Amino acid sequence: MNDATASLTPAEQPSYSTTEVARLLGVSQPTVQRWVDQGLLMAWKTPGGHRRIDAQSAHEFRAQRNQDKPVAPSTSPPTILLVEDDAIDREVASAVIAATWPHARLYQAANGIEALLMIGQFKPDIVLSDIVMPHMNGLEVLRQLSQMENSKPRLLVAITSLKPARIAEMGGLPPKVLLIPKPIEPDMAQVALVSAWQQIAW
């Protein structure tokens, strides 16, 4: 922790709730609580009894966990578009992408309409999209991309907390779309992405 942060009182330091850190790290709340008890994450309790976790401690812990994860094959860095309206989920997914493809060119869209506009501009190799979003849901985005004849992304990924039955009710995923469940578990997500990309890149 830097000197400027160390000089702040707990109430002044940037911090997250246990729920936010669980989403950031892609684990359960009890797991976060266990890491706090083990001293792996710096935390304190507010006067009201709520646990707060130091933001820098959480980010440093996440970076350390990412060091031992698998990395995608060393081909030319892909261009990636991440479509996600939730800020924390976007941060988690971005961290997984950065760990999987350290030199990738990453662009981000907050909804389906914005994503389709960016597709033509950046021509991404990989598109990862949330399903439940405002204006245009991710299923519609993925369907349109899967039907493209020119500049079609090489890998399409759906990220969602929806159950398979609900996805089927909404029309289902297009063929060959990789599904990554929410909350994102970084280790499992990275293994799935590496495996899917290996089948395409080699």
Give the domain-ending residue among 41, 66, 91: 66
Question: 191 and 94: one domain?
Answer: yes
**Contact assessment for residue 32 and residue 17, using Cβ atoms and an 8 Å cutoff:** no
Sheet holding 79-83, edge to edge: 105-109, 79-83, 126-130, 155-160, 178-181
Q: Can you give the pLDDT at residue 3?
A: 39
> What is the number of structural domains in the chain?
2
CATH number at residue 17: 1.10.1660.10
Question: 91 and 51: one domain?
Answer: no
Question: 88 and 55: one domain?
Answer: no
Distances (CA, A) of 51 to 54, 124, 129: 10, 40, 32
Instruction: Provide the greatest CA pair distance for the chain.
Output: 59
Q: Can you give the pLDDT at residue 6?
A: 42
Question: 132 and 34: one domain?
Answer: no
Question: 167 and 87: one domain?
Answer: yes
| Residue 144 in domain | yes
Residue with tokens 């729920």: 19
Question: 12 and 37: one domain?
Answer: yes
Residue 175's DSSP bridge partners are: none
Question: 12 and 110: one domain?
Answer: no
CA–CA dist 197, 202 (Å, integer): 8
Q: What domain range includes position 26?
A: 3-66
Question: 47 and 104: one domain?
Answer: no
- How many residues does the structure list for the chain? 202
Question: 92 and 177: one domain?
Answer: yes
CATH number at residue 185: 3.40.50.2300
Q: Can you give the pLDDT at residue 4?
A: 38
Cβ neighbours of residue 139 closer than 8 Å, sequence gap 6 or more = 131, 158, 167, 170, 171, 172, 173
Q: Can you give the pLDDT at residue 124?
A: 95
**Contact assessment for residue 58 and residue 36, using Cβ atoms and an 8 Å cutoff:** no
CA–CA dist 70, 100 (Å, integer): 7
pTM of the model: 0.68
Cβ neighbours of residue 125 closer than 8 Å, sequence gap 6 or more = 78, 79, 80, 153, 154, 155
Q: Can you give the pLDDT at residue 202?
A: 53
CA–CA dist 99, 85 (Å, integer): 21
> Taking the CB of residue 164, how many other CB atoms lie within 10 A of it?
12
Question: 95 and 163: one domain?
Answer: yes
Render each residue's pLDDT in the chain as its tens digit; 202 residues.
443 334 445 556 789 999 898 888 877 788 888 888 888 899 988 888 888 999 998 888 888 776 655 555 556 789 999 999 999 899 889 989 988 888 899 999 999 999 999 998 999 999 999 999 988 999 999 999 999 887 789 999 999 999 999 999 999 999 999 999 998 888 889 889 988 988 886 5
| Residue 196 in domain | yes
